[in-house]
Structure 1
Amino acid sequence: MPWYSALAIYLLFWVFTLFLVLPYGVRTSRELGEAEVPGQAPSAPHHFSLPRKLMWTSLVSALLFGLFWLNWEQGWITRADLEALLPKPGRSLPPA
């Protein structure tokens, strides 16, 4: 796999992971017993640390990309394995 393909796939993992990491650890003003700012949405976080979220995003996405890379190199799950799980066009699903 060329380095630019690996970089593009890592960036896809990074963006996907960012959306997974964003809601974790967020506490609202109400949960912390603090007063809300006038006009503030009730679901708005009381304190948001972007550098911390970016650090966790980078770590988790590096781990996920590492697993992807190992699968690419070792061939644990191949395209044929995935195609075996899907029904062929024109055929119905097997009974469960």
Structure 2
Amino acid sequence: MRWTSILAIYCLFWVLSAFFVLPFGVRTGEEEGQAKVAGQAESAPANFSFARVAKRATVVSLVLFALFYLNYVNGWIVAADLDVSRFYHGPART
């Protein structure tokens, strides 16, 4: 696998991981006891930290990408293993 492919796939894992970890640890202004600003959504986070999300996403994406790359190198699960059409033969013909 070329390094550009590795970088592109890792970036996809990172973005997926960022969306996955985004809601964890979020507290609203009401939960923090802060006054609500006019026009503010009730679900808006009180203290959003992109650095915290980026660190969490990096850790999760490194683990997921490591598993992906190890599977790519060792061939644990290949495309033929994911072929579900072999279990479905269609409706019975008369």
TM over 0.5: yes
Q: TM-score, normalised by structure 1?
A: 0.85
1:91 matched to 2:89: yes
**C-alpha root-mean-square deviation of aligned residues, in Å?**
1.7
**Paired position in structure 2 for 1:42:** 42
* Unmatched segments (≥5 aa) in structure 1: none
**Paired position in structure 1 for 2:8:** 8
* Unmatched segments (≥5 aa) in structure 2: none
After TM superposition, where is structure 1 displaced by more than 4 Å over at least 4 residues in a row?
none
1:82 matched to 2:82: yes
Instruction: Look up the SS of the partner of 2:77 in the other structure.
Output: coil
How far apart are 1:92 and its partner, in Å?
Answer: 2.7
Q: TM-score, normalised by structure 2?
A: 0.87
Q: Which moved more, 1:73-82 or 1:32-41?
A: 32-41
The count of aligned residue pairs is 90
